[in-house]
Chains A and B, each alone.
Chain A
Amino acid sequence: MASMIQVVDGAIDDDDRRAANSEVLEDFDSVVRRHQQRIYRVLLGMVRDTGAAENLTQECFLKAYQSRSSYRGEASVSTWLVRIAINLAHDYHRNRRAAFWRRLFAGDNDGSEFAARLPSEAATPEQVLVAREKLAAVWLAAEKLSPQQRSVFVLRFVEQMSLEEIAAATDLKLGTVKAHLFRALGTVRKQMKEWQVSS
């Protein structure tokens, strides 16, 4: 009997949570205000192009707005939005035409554009240079990752999401998320070693 009550209580909790999550969407403007930076960061990490990231961020919120009636509130609004953003980024990479224009206009982006923004907290110019080169190595490694590995990598190391949250956002199993992260870290480590050898 006690377990039955617990189950009923759990169901009520779930319903309440879903209702609360759905209510959040009623004021969509505040949803945009609250989540736009996170979505933009995720997309920037995935596509490495500020213009494309801006367009995809707008696309993401538009898609979310259009499909808000189908949102069941099972995941948090943030997770739901991140999932839409990741799918958009995957579509962007799949789109050959986009890839063509990206190559044509963006050139080979090794992340130095972002590395240059880092504050020069290091004492000497040499240390700043080393820090920037290390960063460029990470960006280069991120470029070599598969779209799924990259999305998991960005969610973990840019947004610092837990493995469970990443699994929910990417529709992957926890073990798969972990495997992707291990492979991504292996690629980053390999890239850094190559950079150390070359420098």
Chain B
Amino acid sequence: MNSHLTDEQLNEWILGQAGSDVTRHLDQCPACRHEGEELKQALDGFRDSIHQAAGDYRMRWWAPAEREHPAWSRLMAQPWAYAATVALILVVSVVLLRFDRRRSPHPVAHTIGENEILMQIQADVSDDVPNALAPGELLLAAGEQPPPAPSAKPTRKAPRSARR
């Protein structure tokens, strides 16, 4: 026994693949035996720590079908699911339409008010701008009755052409 074991020889011993010469050396050399035993103890401690941390480990749940097909997709696979979906859409549409009708008076009144204002503006413009009456004159020339003026403004001025 001239020298101590190499790292490689110790590794082989740890892995249980050492030859008889290595085993014999370890029997006779306290230093090598101590180094080998210390390494082995540390590795055993590593194994034990993981085994104890794992303990009686059980997976919290195991339901691959649920992971593969979520609840909504399994529900939609049912034959009645499409009919139910269509019915639901129809009901929601009807409810929304009814709700919209109940709210409708205000916008309609608003629209009527806007129309009256527009008519009034149109009447004012037609009073001031002679060209605006050109289509009416053409109609008179053709012997047709022009459309009645909007009744929004009761005291309406006579057209400029008539004043002339």
Contacts and interface: CB of A to CB of B under 8 A. Distances in A.
B103 interface: no
Contact of A139 (B46, B57, B60, B61): B46
Given A118-B48, A137-B42, A185-B11, A36 B53 contact: no
B101 interface: no
Contact of B45 (A36, A57, A118): A118
A97 B115 CA distance: 63
A11 B96 CA distance: 71
A89 B26 CA distance: 37
A129 B51 CA distance: 20
A32 interface: yes
Interface in A146-163: 156-158, 160, 163
Contacts, number: 102
Nearest to B8: A182
A41 interface: yes
B54 A41 contact: yes
Interface in B40-84: 41-43, 45-54, 56-62, 64, 67-68
A117 B15 contact: no
A188 interface: yes
A138 B57 CA distance: 23
B38 interface: yes
A125 B127 CA distance: 111
Contact of B42 (A50, A138, A178): A138
B49 A111 contact: yes
Contacts of B58: 36
A37 B43 CA distance: 20
Interface in A16-52: 28-29, 32, 36-37, 40-41, 44-45, 50
Residue with the highest number of chain A CB atoms closer than 10 Å, among B8, B47, B53: B53
B47 A157 contact: yes
B49 A117 contact: yes
Contact of B64 (A62, A111, A118, A131): A62
Contact of A185 (B38, B39, B53, B62): B39
A41 B47 CA distance: 9
B39 A189 contact: yes
B49 A114 contact: yes
A134 B45 CA distance: 8
A159 to B, nearest CB: 8
A113 B49 CA distance: 9
A131 B44 CA distance: 11
A160 B94 CA distance: 69
A158 B64 contact: no
Which 6 pairs across A and B sit closest by C-beta, in order of nearness?
Answer: A114-B49, A135-B45, A138-B46, A65-B64, A117-B52, A134-B42
Given A115-B49, A131-B45, A158-B51, 13 more contacts: A36-B58, A37-B57, A54-B60, A57-B57, A58-B59, A58-B61, A61-B59, A117-B52, A134-B42, A139-B46, A157-B43, A185-B11, A185-B39
